[in-house]
Amino acid sequence: MIDTNTPEVIETRRCIYCFRDKPLDQYSFEHIWPDALGGKLCPDLFKTHEVCAHCNNTCGLFVDGAFIKSWFVQLEIVNQAYRFLDPRRPSPAPLLYFGIEPKVSTEDDEICERWQGLAGERVYHFHLADEARWNAFAGGDTIRRKKKDPGRAYLALTSAEEYWAFTAALSFREQFSAAKRCVITEVASDEPEDARVLEVLFPRPDKSDPQQVRDIASLATAVETTSTVVRAAVQGDFDSRFLCKLALGLGHKILGSQHGESRYGAELRQGLWARDPAARQDLKIGGSGMLGEVHGSIPQEIRTLMSWPGAWSLCIWKHGDELAAQIRSPSGNLQSVVIANELSKYEGVDLRGYRDGQMFFISLPGQSFLGPVGLPEFLAHKMGVQAVPELAEAALREIQEAALPPKNLPPRDAN
C-alpha cells in the first residue's frame, strides 16, 4: 500500500550571494561579469547557475546597474565604442550622460537630461523625476524608462558630415527606442536613397503637438549655447558593491563552497547587501575602487602594464595567502578586490595556476574574449620581449581616429 502522506522532498541549493537554501526552480543564469560589459563573451569562470533569481534581479538593477550606469563607467563605455567605429559604415554608439540640463525649463514634476554623441551632437530627454535612489544612475530609473515613462527625446546635430549624422541617428534611435523622438536640426543629402533613410531616422517636429512645441521652445537657449556644463550626480563608492559581488562569484567558481562559508566570504556578502556606504566602511574587505587609493604590493610599473587599450582586463593573482583580482578599464583605470584570504585554510584546492597571475581580456565593441594568458607572458608581450600569438592575432583591434571622417562641418538649421 502506498503511503500518500509522505512529504515531497524538494531539492535545494545554497545561493552564493544571499547564502540561503532555495528550491532549484528559483535559480537563474547569472553573469558574474556583467552582460552589458561583455559577460556573454566570457567563459564559464565568469558565469554561474548558483544564484537565485531574486539576487540575480536585484544585483542586475542595483549592483551591476549602479556600476554600469555610473558616470565614470559610462565614459569608459563611450570611449571604448569610439575605438571600434567602422569608418566604412555608420553604426549605433553609446551616448555620454551629462546629467540634468540647467538651461531648460520643465514642468514641475519633470526633468530634462542631456546626453552627448561621439561627434558632439546633443540629446535632450524629458521625463518624470525619479526617486532619489536613482540620482546617480545615468538616465534614472531604467525600469520606468523602458515601460512606464520612456519620455520625450530631442536630437540636435552638430556635424553635417553624413557619416556622423547617420551615426547620431542610429544611436539616438537605439538608446531612446521607447521614447517619443524628434530631431530639431537637419542634414541635407545629395543622394536620394540617403535622403529617404534620413527621413525615417530623423523624425521631424510636429507643429500640431502642443507638448512638442513647448519642449522645443524651452530648448532654444540650451541648443544655441556652445558651453558644456555637467551636472551628473556621482556616488563615490559606486563600484564597491559590484566588487564584492565579483569576488563572491569568482571565489565560489575557483574555491568552491568553502569560500562562502569562510569569514571573509561573510564579509563580502555584508558588503554586497549593505545599501548605506557607511555600513561598508568598517568591513575588512581588501582592494580599492576606481576612485580610491591603491593599496597592495604590486609595483606601479606592473600595474601600468596590466591593461589592454579598448578592453576590460582582469588579472587573478595568488599573492601570499590571498587571491585577488586586478581590473583595468579600457582607458586604464584600476580597481581591485581581494577574492579570498587565509588560503592556507582551504583544503583540496589547487591554486598553482594563479601563482604567477592569469590575465583575461573582454572587449564588447570588438566582440572578443581572450584568456587566460599568464601574467609573465603578457608582460613580456607588452614590453616587446616575446610575442604571444593569441594577443598578436586577437580581434581587440581599434579603428584609428585618422581613418574616420571629419566632424567639424556645421549643421543646417531646421526650417
* Domain residue ranges of the chain, discontinuous segments joined by +: 12-70+235-399, 86-224
Is 221:126 a contact under the CB 8 Å cutoff?
Answer: no
Residue 140: pLDDT over 90: yes
Residue 223: pLDDT over 60: yes
For the record, the C-alpha cell of 313 comes out as 582586463
- 171-183 pLDDT, tens digit per residue, is 999 999 999 999 9
Q: Residue 69: name the closest of 152, 133, 150, 153 by CA.
A: 133
The stretch 125-148 carries a mean pLDDT of 93
Amino acid found at 114 = R
User: What pLDDT score was predicted for residue 232?
Assistant: 75
For the record, the C-alpha cell of 288 comes out as 580599492
What's the mean pLDDT when you consider all of the chain?
A: 87
- 73-99 pLDDT, tens digit per residue, is 999 999 999 988 999 899 999 999 999
User: What pLDDT score was predicted for residue 96?
Assistant: 95
User: What pLDDT score was predicted for residue 7?
Assistant: 66
* Reported confidence tier of residue 412, pLDDT bands at 50, 70, 90: very low
DSSP H helices in 262-343: 263-273, 277-280, 300-305
The stretch 234-248 carries a mean pLDDT of 92
* Reported confidence tier of residue 165, pLDDT bands at 50, 70, 90: confident
For the record, the C-alpha cell of 268 comes out as 563580502
- Determine if the peptide bond prior to 102 is cis (ω within 30°): no
- 366-376 pLDDT, tens digit per residue, is 788 999 999 99
- The full 3-state SS of 157-211, as one line of letters, equals CCCCCHHHHHHHHHHHHHHCCCCEEEECEECCCCCHHHHHHHHHHCCCCCCCCHH
Length, in residues, of the chain: 415
Please, how many CA atoms are within 13 Å of residue 94, restricted to the half-sphere of its CB?
24
Contacts of residue 151, defined as CB under 8 A and 6 or more positions apart, other chains included, come to 125, 126, 127, 128, 145, 176, 179, 180
Residue 410: pLDDT over 60: no
Residue 396: pLDDT over 80: no
* Reported confidence tier of residue 391, pLDDT bands at 50, 70, 90: confident
Residue 201: pLDDT over 70: yes
* Reported confidence tier of residue 297, pLDDT bands at 50, 70, 90: very low
Q: Which of 94-98, 204-208, 345-349, 369-373 has the lowest mean pLDDT?
A: 204-208
User: What pLDDT score was predicted for residue 408?
Assistant: 63
Is 349:255 a contact under the CB 8 Å cutoff?
Answer: yes
The stretch 338-349 carries a mean pLDDT of 94
Rounded to the nearest 5°, which phi and psi values hold at 114?
Answer: -115, 135
Sign of torsion over alpha carbons 369, 375, 381, 383: positive
Report the distance separating Cα 196 and Cα 194, nearest Å. 5
**For residue 292, what are the β-bridge partners?**
none
Amino acid found at 177 = S
Contacts of residue 281, defined as CB under 8 A and 6 or more positions apart, other chains included, come to none
- 7-34 pLDDT, tens digit per residue, is 677 889 999 999 999 999 999 999 999 9
